[in-house]
Amino acid sequence: MDSLTRVETWLEAGKQIGKSAPVKENGNIVWWSVGVQKWQGIYKLYTDSFIESKPLDYDSDSEEIVEAADFETLSNLVSSKSPFKIEELAPLKGQKIFNPRF
């Protein structure tokens, strides 16, 4: 099973997949959190990022949830809205990255 098929299978099973990791951008370390889950027939993509060297601002506009109707659109959104590819995301154990109800 190729990685895209595996990711789609996880999502169709209702699992939340994601990744949280630091990424070097423009000389800064930026912490990214990306989560995806299929909720009530719609894929939801959550992204959040913050620059490690700056004070954490809980009211920042870096947090976003975007909906996608199909897997291909979702895959393109993950690549355009974050530094990750959808194949890099994996099922989460324990705490989820976001609540898909919102």
What pLDDT, in 10s, does the model give residues 15-35?
999 999 999 999 999 999 999
Contact 21, 32 (CB under 8 A): yes
pLDDT digits (tens, 9 = 90+) for 50-83: 888 887 766 666 889 999 999 999 999 999 999 9
Which residue's structure tokens are 């975007």? 66
Question: Whole-prediction pTM value?
Answer: 0.90
The per-residue pLDDT for 58 is: 64
* Span between the terminal Cα atoms of the chain, in Å: 32
The per-residue pLDDT for 55 is: 76
Query: Alpha-carbon distance 38 to 26, whole Å?
Result: 33
The per-residue pLDDT for 28 is: 92
